[in-house]
Structures are given as C-alpha cells and as structure tokens.
Chain A
Amino acid sequence: MLSVKDLSVMFQTRRGAVDAVRGVSFDVAKGEILGIVGESGSGKSVTSYALMRILDAGGTIKAGEVDYSGIDLKRAAERDMRDIRGREISMIFQNPRAALNPIRKVGHQIEDVLRQHVRATRFDARAKAIAAMESVKIKDAEERYNAYPFELSGGMCQRIVCAIALACDPRLLIADEPTTGLDITTQKAVMDLVRDLIRAREMSSILITHDLGLAAQYCDRLIVMKDGLIVEQGDPVQIFSRPEHPYSRKLVDATPRAGASVRDLLPAESRAPEPQIFASDKPLVEVRDLVKTYAGKSGPVHAVKGISFTVNQGQCVGLVGESGCGKSTTAEMLVRLMDATSGQIIFDGDDIAKTPARGFARDPRRADIQMVFQDATDSLNPRHTARQAIAEPLRRLGKMRGAALAVRIEELVGLVGLPLSLLDRFPHQLSGGQKARVGIACAVALDPKFLILDEPTAALDVSIQAVVLNLLVDLRAKLGLSYLFVSHDLHVVRLLCDHVIVMKDGQIVEEGPAHQVMSHPQNPYTKSLLAAAPKPPERAAALDQLEITDAQHSALHDKRAS
C-alpha cells in the first residue's frame, strides 16, 4: 500500500544543511500496523511529515521515492496532496489539546474536515460530525459537540483528534507519539481505541513512538531508527528477544520491564556489579496526616487529603500515581517549598512542617533535604554556567569560597560523571543527559540525607534514562542517601525502589514492599495501573532470569526483615 524507497530529507538551518533522514526504505501493507521506534533526533517524525508533505519551511525531500497505491506522493501537486491528506492518509499528533483550535467548537472542527473533502453538505455536516464522534466512543456526543478544547480532558481531546483524522475514512493513519504526556490508563484507552478502529476499518497504520514497549505491544512489525537511518526491521517479539543491531540491543536493554534489574538497562559492556544497599529500620522521615487544600476557582481543591507514610534511613520509597493524584504536591511539601495546610513532617526527630516554607531557606536543615527536578532544562538558570549552578548551593549553604569551592565542584562533577570541560557551558549548550547530571550534582552538593526525585528521567531518552537511573543507584549506595522517588512509570519504580506507595485523588490507596505491590496488587486501582502499563514481550533469556531474580528479591526482603 505504501512504499518508501531511499527517502532522504534535508533541512536548511542557520548552521548549514542537516540531513534528518538518510536513505530510509520500508513498506506498509494493507491492514498492517507498522511501528517506527527511535529516540529524539532519529528522524522518525520527519519521515512521516515528509510523506505527508507537511515539512516545515526549511525542509525538503532530497531524494527517494514515495508511492501510495500507485500515486507518487513526492511529485504530486499541492492540490492533489490536499485531497489525499485527511481523505486517504490522516495523521494524529502528540499533545492533543494543543492540536485543536482553541477557540473553535470541536464539533465544527470535525465538520470543517468533512465539508472540505465533500463528505458532507451544510445540512448534514452536524449529524455526520456527531456520528464521527460516536465512532471514537465519545459518550454524549451531542453535548460534547459544542465544547471547546479547554473544557475537555486530555484523553477526550485525543479522541476528538482521532475523530477528525478518521472522519473521511482514510486508508492509512499515521500516529506521531499520540500518547506522550497522557496518563498510563488514558494511554491504554487511547491505544486500544486506535487499534480497534484500525482493525475494524481494515486500515493500515504507522505508529511513531519512543516507547519500545508500547510499540511492541500494539504493532505488527517494527522499524528501529537512529540518526536518520533504519538499523533494524522485523517482528516485535523477534526484535525484543533477539535484537541483531547493537543499537536495537541497547534500546531493548534500556526499556524498563518486569524482571530486569537496574544494571540490565545498560549495555552489557557497561555493567558494573550492582552495589548492595541495606535499608535500615530507623525512620528518617515520618509523614503524619499531611493535608493540602487550595482555594480554587470553584471552591476548595483538596490536593492531599491526609496521608501518612515513613521513609527509613537508606531506603528508596516510590510514590506512584497519575496526574492530579497529589504526589507532586506531597513532594513539594516534603522538600519545604510549599506549606502544608495541616499535618506533620518529622525529619530526624523534628517537625519541619512547623517552619514556614518562606523561611526554610535559612534553616540549618535546608542542606539535608534536597530535590532532583523533572525537567532539567527548567531547573537550570539559563544565564548561569554549569559551574555557577553547582557552586550556588555550596556558596549559600556551604559558605565555601575560592580553592575549597573549586575542589568540591570537581569532586562532584566526577561523582556524577560529567566531563570537566563542560563546566563552563550554558544549559542550552548541554544535552539532556548532561543537564540531568548537573541537576543531580547540585542536589548532592551538600551531602544531604534525604533526596526527593520528582520524575527525574521523565523527559529523557530511554538510553539516557538507563544511565541516569544507574547513576542514582550508585550515588545512593556511595553517599548513604534515602530517596523518595516520585514517578508515574511503574517499571522504573519497580527497578529502583524498596517500598512503593500508590496515590489516587490525594490519598494513599496501597503501599508495601515494591516487588509485592507490583506482582500481587491488592487494590483495584493499583491493578488497573499495572494492567495499563505497556508489556513488552519478554526476552528469551530474561524469561529464565525472571524466576531467579524474583527469588533473589524475596530472599533479600527476608534478610532485611529479620
């Protein structure tokens, strides 16, 4: 149905020509779901933009052929392309709310497409738009018709985007990272819907994603791209169990999955032995009946409704939940950037909730509790070099100057694995992984006791995530830290944490030892979370390992308990 041969795409940038795609060839058969997987910069999205001919102004198709059912997409006139877009080939994008016109009713947006491709007239457009909404399983379609995007949830917006894309019954649907940014349960709902619709209409589809596990679960065939080239193609199970190309092997290794340990995420050559960490029984942080209530636009918002938990010394506790559950609010209160409405936070014997957030910067305990932020780019001052950023806590709290300061900075930089030569760069001159390391260096600069990690790897490519997660494990062992690891990614939490707390709507719904909660959840919500997480096919070797590691975990747990 779709045949791409030697496609090359070039962008004209201020720094000269950049080859985003360098000779890519693949086919999509009728009724097939093809997954294109790659990290950022691999050229996966650019490929699909190229065949739809919606590249940005600076991009051109340098070479290659694109054939869709006999039509030459590369040479087709713009008018013909406009006919094809939406009617034959459709696309859905990341960030669904931004993909909809914010000041136009969603129903009208669907109508626009129907009328453009002459699938409806002025009179029956509304009825057909409502029918399109119902086909993507939107309940109360008539009411939702008049809604604006800001009134709808992320998942609902994505359904509308799907409705627009499928309104004219296209034959090929291209989905460019459709679930990035959505909650896990919403993610599953959207992917299931898309797959069901595709199968029901006997369409073909291209799913573009960075999540190898997701692609493996939903696609018939996979393509792995790196730096504008295809490095491997094939059956998902085969790629997962027996990856041939070193890069695909690296990606498969780095994808967090059940039964793997943190070290398994790294390429085989880089696996140092995993450090042994023993959490003690002594509590370091005790949270008692923590409550946070905001004054919202339409009444009070109960973000956190009275939670209690403990983090022992040396322990790594995972705090899991979807967006809006209150985990980030809890993290902010614990690190004293925000005041609680009521409740106690007992740190090393003192109730630090009593000290207001505004004055905590001058409290002697400030250095003991630090945080690693989610978005490393946002957490670094764009005007400060890496050196200045790491020096900041050392100057303010550590009162260090001159030679002592320089020595300590070099020490820290070595600890986090950042090359010395990068110290004088600005954040915009550093890569995502390098920025993450700087953020970690800032956090551990003053030898804190307790580190709160707020989704520290959410914005990173999966191979970089592997490296950073291993770094965090090593640091914890080396420096004797205790972690509170906040995340929505269950697999990651399973890898790192001893103890897991699941939150929903401001309350704790389940907690317990990590391997127990993950493999034998009691609460229905936890069960639904686990069911929604993408399950990549197990590696052949890993299947054997699974039983061994589970046994090891149980043995370790018994040892700690005694």
Chain B
Amino acid sequence: MLTSFPRLRAILLRLAQAIPVVIGVVVISFLLTRALPGDPAVYFAGVAADEASIEETRVAMGLDKSLPVQFVRYVGDLLQGDLGQSLSSGRPVATDLANRLPASLELTLTALILAVVIAVPLGILAATRPGTWVDHLCRVVVTAGVSLPTFFTGILLIYIFYYLMGIAPSPLGRLDFIYLSPDHVTGFYLIDAALMGDWETWRGAAKQLVLPAATLALFTLAPIARMTRAAMLTALSSDYIRTAKAAGLSNGTVLYRYAFRNSLLPVVTTLGMVFSFALGANVLVEKVFAWPGIGSYAVEALVVSDYAAVQGFVLAMALLFVALNLVIDLLYTTIDPRIGFGAQ
C-alpha cells in the first residue's frame, strides 16, 4: 500500500530515521555529563558533611550504581519529563529550562528573521547583477561574515552604540529594570507586550533586543547570502531558464516563479545548518549581553558542575535541533516534488 504513495513513504522514512538519532543524542548527553568533574554528591550533601553522609547522599542520588543502571533510571525519568534537579537553583531542571527557553527563542528567531530578510534579497541581487557593486558587497559581507567572532562583534557593537554613541541601552538583559515584564502568555516579550497593548514596555523590550539580535544576525547572514547567491546563479544558468526566456516570459516570472523557487531548495537546507550555528552562537551572545536564556543558564551551570542542568541543556538543545531538522526536511518534501521518487 505504501508503495503507491512514495511521498508518504519518504516522510515516514524520515520520521523513522530520527529515532536512532534521538537515542544517540540521549546516550551521548548522558555519558558526557557523567564525565563532568566534581562529585555532585559532595556538593549536594553540604559543606559540613562527613564521609558517611556523603555516602548516604550518593546512594540517595543513585550515583553508587553502575553506569548502565544509572542510564536506565535516567531514561525512565526522562520519559516522565523529569530532567533532574538543578543544584544551584534547587528547582527541577525542566522548569528552569522552560522558564528560560522563550528568551533564547525570541532572540534566535528575531535574529534569523532579520538575517533572512537581508541576506536573501542580497543574494538574489548579487546573482542577477554579477560584477556590480551589489555583487561585490555580497561577497565582502559573506567573507567578512564568516570571519566574525560572534562574541567579539557583540562587544564591538556595545562599545560603538552604547559607550561611544549612547543610543543603545546598557547590555543588562531583556528589559531595563524600570519596566515590568509583561504578563506571561508566550514568554516572548514583544508578543506579550503587544497583546497587552503596553507599547512602552514593547519599546523597552525591543530596544534591548536590537543589539543582541543584530549580533546574532550578522553571524548568520553570511552563509544564507552565500547560498542564496550560489543557488540563484546555478538556477539562472540552467536549461529551463533558457527555455523560459526563449518563450518570452517576463523577467519577474523567470526570476521568481522559475529561478527563485528552484533555488529555495538548497537555501532551505542551509537554513537548517545555520540554525545549528545560531543555537551555538546563542550561548556566546547571551553571555555578552547578559541575556537570561538557556545559553547563559548552561554556562553558569558548567562553572559549578551542576550536572543535571548541563545535561538538561545539552539534551534540550539537541532535541530542539532534531525537531527543527525534521520540520525542514518535511518542508523540503513539499517544495520538491521529486522527493521519494529517487529520480533527479
């Protein structure tokens, strides 16, 4: 039955492929954080603890069992949504992550949208006007962009716009302390403030968001622009564009309905890769701008060997990324009708 729906079969296959990856991710994050230095039992038992109570704590936390047994317990907890207890905050890690995730998502999504809005038109223009200043600008942006250390650009932007020019607010997080955070609906300050109609807070949140989002956007601009330009160039030199031109189709039709749609495919693939880089760069940007997201949560947790928190962070990031790649691949099957047929 499934052979009569090649697309459906391709989709199911893709979903099935994600399963061993998820398993691998869980195993690796478990192993990594079990290897963290520092004995959590000592920390948990308290400063005044002696050998016996440390041992008690260890047994209570299950750290005396062998690794496979610990792993099974870990997976069992995971399936119930229990990511363990954070040592530094005392709350369940899952709660901590849930609280801080919206901050990171708001930052990353704003940055990505900004990057796409600039990079894609830039890439298209560079491809359609080779050799002009737009093309050169694009090349410079791309080469410089992949050379920029995110943390450094963030710092540089703070120096220029905050210290020198004074137009940016101080890099102290999502909202200056004079504002009250909006009522929690989505956790995205921009959306929540808009929903409440509180435009003052909205402006405050937006002002804080500009620099960090710009920093992250600068970083992700380069690969998107490069891929858009390359994909458009390839598409524009294809035979079917020659047919379209010879049939007298207008420039707009040729460019958008024929060339651009075909170059969407590799661009969408690149977006997945870019998101991976962005999630990693997120950590750095959050540290520079004191953004209370899951990236800075992880960095703080690492410093104090809060293993449950670090584990939760790595796992959460990886699962988020797997889910995103799945969405992108599924998106791909809607754009490209050849998927599932094997033909090229």
Contacts and interface: CB of A to CB of B under 8 A. Distances in A.
Contacts of B238: 98
A112 B247 CA distance: 9
Interface in B238-275: 238-240, 242-250, 253, 257-258, 261-262, 265
Contact of A103 (B239, B338, B342): B338
Contact of B240 (A54, A82, A87, A101): A101
Contacts of A117: 248
B248 A86 contact: yes
Contact of B246 (A86, A95, A148): A86
A206 to B, nearest CB: 13
Contacts of A298: 3
A87 B249 CA distance: 10
A116 B253 contact: yes
Interface in B155-197: none
B155 to A, nearest CB: 43
Contacts of A113: 247-249
B334 to A, nearest CB: 11
A99 B243 contact: yes
A116 B246 CA distance: 12
Interface in B291-311: none
B240 A98 contact: yes
Given A103-B336, A148-B338, A83 B3 contact: no
Contacts of B261: 103-104
Nearest to A113: B247
Contacts of A161: 243
Contacts of A93: 239, 242-243, 246
B250 A82 contact: yes
26 contacts: A57-B130, A82-B250, A83-B248, A85-B245, A85-B247, A86-B246, A90-B247, A91-B243, A93-B239, A93-B243, A98-B240, A101-B262, A102-B262, A103-B262, A103-B337, A103-B338, A104-B258, A112-B253, A113-B248, A113-B249, A150-B338, A150-B341, A151-B343, A164-B243, A165-B246, A297-B342
A82 B243 contact: no
Contacts of B80: none
Nearest to B246: A91
Nearest to A110: B247
A116 B338 contact: no
Nearest to A56: B237
Contacts, number: 84
Contacts of B265: 103
Given A85-B245, A86-B247, A102-B338, 19 more contacts: A52-B246, A54-B242, A82-B250, A91-B243, A99-B239, A99-B240, A99-B243, A101-B240, A101-B258, A103-B265, A103-B336, A112-B247, A112-B257, A113-B247, A116-B249, A161-B243, A164-B247, A165-B246, A297-B342
Contact of A148 (B245, B262, B337): B337
A487 B245 CA distance: 36
Contacts of A116: 247-250, 253
Contacts of B331: none
A100 interface: yes
A84 interface: yes
A117 B242 CA distance: 17
B335 interface: yes
Nearest to B344: A150
A95 B257 CA distance: 22
Interface residues of A, number: 33
A86 to B, nearest CB: 3
Nearest to A147: B337
Contacts of A90: 246-247
Contacts of A148: 337-338
Nearest to B235: A101
Nearest to A108: B257
Contact of A150 (B244, B253, B262, B343): B343
Contacts of A98: 238-240
A98 B262 CA distance: 13
A164 B245 CA distance: 12
B337 A84 contact: no
Contacts of B341: 150-151
Nearest to A105: B337
B131 to A, nearest CB: 9
Nearest to A165: B247
Contacts of A86: 246-249
Interface string B124-146: 00000010000000000000000
A448 B300 CA distance: 73
A57 B132 CA distance: 14
Interface in B319-338: 335-338
A174 B250 CA distance: 20
Nearest to B265: A103
A82 B342 CA distance: 36
Contacts of A103: 261-262, 265, 335-338
B314 to A, nearest CB: 38
Q: Top 10 A-B pairs ranked by shortest CB distance?
A: A86-B248, A85-B248, A86-B247, A98-B239, A91-B246, A150-B343, A99-B243, A101-B240, A113-B247, A82-B248
Interface in A72-129: 81-87, 90-91, 93, 95, 98-104, 112-113, 116-117
A90 B244 CA distance: 11
B344 to A, nearest CB: 7
B125 to A, nearest CB: 16
